[in-house]
Chains A and B, each alone.
Chain A
Amino acid sequence: MILQTALLIGVVLFSVLAILLRDLLKSAVSLAVASLLLGIIFFRMNAPYAGVFEISVVAGLITVLFILTITLVHKGDEVRESRLANWVFPLFFVIFVVIDALVMKSLLGKIPALASGAETGTFGEVLWKGRTLDLVGQIAVILAGVFAVLALFRKGDKHE
């Protein structure tokens, strides 16, 4: 439990760092570290497939995409952030974490317990038989993403 707590604190810490750091490259790397820690947490919660996806896709592929974009928009660091953010963010974050710690337990107690049958079979059976429609949706989403990127990087017509 101590290791799990340390990992969860690490995820929150690196996520907050990713938001607060001025350098975009450092932000992207912080986000990747947070994803890596989250992947390890998934592994420890007996969810190896989700952990593998989190580490390989989110910590790997998405970070590469972020770094590629940051190198393409090399003047991006010059955006002037509001000074308000420097003290409002930590202040509200600490206040919320305190409230969160005080009320979350009673809040969860008010959620009616849903009756769920015990799961049987392997992960493959649940994914391919139980959530088949999800897979169709995933294919549709991937195709939508591909066509959107193609449309956004389409070269202008010659007559324009």
Chain B
Amino acid sequence: MSNTWFYYAFFAAALVLAGVLGLLLKRNLIKLFICIEVIGKGISLLLLSTGFAKGSILTAQALVITYIVIEVSLVATALALIINVYRTTRSLDIRGLAKLKG
């Protein structure tokens, strides 16, 4: 069982790192949010694979579904925020936000 756990954890870690690297290197707000989504994918894969390896897949499923519901709420709020930022700054560049005052 631990062999399959290692196997899934390896891919989950790769997904999380890809997301973190994207967050550090990208400047487009939508792109940054896509990076957060990728990190979320890694986390849900790790959650479910741990449940799969430890024999508690039902609880892991319940946790993943909870995470997906939270993700939808987060995406709706964050995209609304991004649209508002675009209306204010006329750009999606994250550096434009540093110039905001007040």
Contacts and interface: CB of A to CB of B under 8 A. Distances in A.
Interface in A32-64: 34-35, 38, 41-42, 45-47, 49-50, 53-54, 57-58, 61-62
Contact of A76 (B13, B54, B56, B86): B86
A123 B61 CA distance: 8
A105 B6 CA distance: 6
B34 A19 contact: yes
Interface in A85-144: 85, 88-89, 92-93, 96-97, 100-101, 104-105, 108-109, 114, 116, 118-119, 121-123, 126-127, 130-131, 134, 137-138, 141-142, 144
Given A79-B28, A104-B10, A45 B69 contact: no
Given A119-B55, A134-B62, A11 B48 contact: no
Nearest to A117: B56
A50 B61 contact: yes
Contacts of A82: 25, 27
Among A38, A45, A57, A114, the most chain B Cβ lie within 10 Å of the Cβ of A45
Contacts of B82: 69, 73
A160 B35 CA distance: 37
Interface residues of B, number: 67
A96 B14 contact: yes
For the residues of B in contact with A, the DSSP-based class is helix
A116 B69 CA distance: 26
A79 B79 contact: no
Given A123-B58, A145-B73, A47 B48 contact: yes
A12 B18 contact: yes
Interface residues of A, number: 78
Nearest to B47: A50
Contact of A45 (B9, B28, B57): B57
B91 A75 contact: yes
Contact of B73 (A18, A38, A142): A142
Contacts of A16: 18
B15 A54 contact: no
A122 B62 CA distance: 11
5 contacts: A38-B45, A46-B52, A57-B71, A116-B55, A119-B57
The 3 closest A-B pairs by CB, nearest first: A145-B73, A85-B25, A19-B22
